[in-house]
């Protein structure tokens, strides 16, 4: 409830809540934060992106009115199922929080080494899990105790049990599996790496969809990018694909994109296919939807969205025609 206060807000502020109230960021951080501060809270029956700025002006909202000037940004991480969360209270850009000795005393957690194929924790011959090393992406888990319980998902015992890891470091202990991958760096900062299931493996390497998406976002003609992996007959793992939304009055510049990828990412992380969309599918809490995109793959007969293929020899993304698609799936065109 002190999140707004840490961002510099006061009782004089007017805060506009954009998320649905069943989301912790809206109810606990949003409503609770306003009550704690004594600030004014603006709620709309349903969020509208097109009316957002008009609403801000209408209600004299102060948080984002200052966004073109000096603002304070606090990145954090949290979830409703278990008591584990972080907040980056420093001026360091990028981390979601700290992992020092004292931080772990108040909020116990571990980062576990995981199998990149199954995304299950790696266990020793004796059946115990292994802690991830500094700088290595690890699976975030939190110990369950009398003070930190996981009550389960209502009416779904099977799904509830899937979130639990047992006998992690000793017989009888139980940990909550967040399904998120974090990195603990040498300065005790924590960085969000990816979500289990979003990360995919290609050419024997793990590809972080979050990292690739951030690289795409640096280009001046791309508004948004959703990165995911697609299967190709005859290849192990999944090849990268990006569904992108172009900025208004901009066109795809395949050559510029290719050169940008060469400068910023290793070859195995380059998306081999592009899908141009007018908007990205997201949940009510603005998380990108990947399932349908993964299922539809890169088949031009399945979607009317323009599809492109990375032709490394031309150093460009070329239009993916039906014939080129057949060449890729038959193995005639190699990746």
Distances (CA, A) of 93 to 25, 138, 163, 200: 21, 21, 31, 26
Report CA 240 to chain centroid distance, whole Å.
16
Per-residue pLDDT at 159: 85
Per-residue pLDDT at 330: 94
Per-residue pLDDT at 332: 93
For residue 127, give the nearest of 76, 170, 158, 68 by alpha carbon.
170
For residue 184, give the nearest of 120, 113, 129 by alpha carbon.
113
CATH 3.30.300.30 placement within the chain = 199-330
In DSSP notation, 265-322 reads S-GGGS-SEEEEESS--B-TT-PBP-HHHHHHTT-TTT--S-EEEEETTTTEEEE--H
Homologous superfamily of 73-195 in CATH? Luciferase; Domain 3 (2.30.38.10)
Per-residue pLDDT at 104: 83
The continuous run of DSSP H or E covering 158 comes out as helix 157-162
Crossing angle of helices 209-216 and 254-264, in 10° steps, is: 130
For residue 243, give the nearest of 290, 199, 285 by alpha carbon.
290
Stretches where the chain sits below pLDDT 70 are 64-71, 197
**β-pairing, 200-202 with 189-195?**
unpaired
CATH 2.30.38.10 placement within the chain = 73-195
Per-residue pLDDT at 319: 97
End-to-end CA separation in angstroms for the chain: 50
In CATH terms, the fold of domain 199-330 is GMP Synthetase; Chain A, domain 3 (3.30.300)
**Overall pTM surpassing 0.75 (yes/no):** no
**β-pairing, 137-143 with 174-184?**
antiparallel
Per-residue pLDDT at 111: 96
Per-residue pLDDT at 141: 96
Rounded CA gap, 273 and 288, in Å? 18
């Amino acid at each position: 409830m002190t999140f707004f206060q840490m961002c510099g807000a006061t009782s004089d502020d007017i805060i506009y809540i954009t998320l649905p109230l069943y989301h912790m960021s809206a109810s606990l951080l949003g409503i609770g934060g306003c009550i704690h501060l004594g600030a004014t809270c603006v709620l709309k029956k349903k969020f509208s992106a097109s009316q957002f700025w008009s609403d801000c002006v209408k209600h004299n909202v102060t948080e984002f009115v200052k966004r073109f000037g000096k603002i304070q940004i606090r990145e954090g991480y949290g979830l409703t199922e278990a008591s584990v969360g972080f907040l980056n209270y420093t001026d360091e850009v990028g981390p979601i929080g700290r992992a020092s000795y004292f931080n772990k005393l108040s909020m116990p957690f571990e980062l576990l080494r995981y199998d990149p194929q199954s995304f299950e924790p790696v266990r020793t011959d004796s059946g115990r899990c292994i802690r991830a090393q500094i700088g290595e992406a690890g699976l975030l888990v939190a110990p369950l105790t009398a003070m930190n319980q996981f009550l389960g998902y209502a009416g779904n015992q099977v799904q509830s049990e899937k979130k639990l890891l047992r006998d992690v470091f000793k017989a009888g202990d139980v940990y909550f599996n967040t399904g998120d991958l974090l990195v603990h760096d040498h300065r005790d900062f924590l960085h969000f790496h990816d979500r289990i299931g979003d990360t995919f493996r290609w050419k024997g390497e793990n590809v972080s969809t979050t990292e690739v998406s951030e690289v795409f976002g640096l280009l001046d003609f791309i508004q948004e990018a959703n990165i995911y992996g697609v299967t190709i007959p005859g290849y192990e793992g999944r090849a990268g694909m990006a569904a992108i939304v172009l900025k208004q009055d901009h066109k795809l510049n395949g050559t510029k994109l290719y050169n940008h990828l060469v400068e910023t990412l290793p070859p195995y992380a380059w998306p081999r296919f592009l899908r141009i969309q007018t908007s990205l599918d997201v949940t009510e809490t603005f998380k990108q939807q990947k399932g349908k995109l993964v299922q539809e793959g890169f088949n031009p007969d399945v979607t009317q969205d323009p599809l492109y293929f990375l032709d490394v020899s031309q150093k460009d993304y070329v239009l993916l025609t039906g014939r080129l698609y057949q060449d890729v799936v038959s193995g005639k065109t190699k990746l």
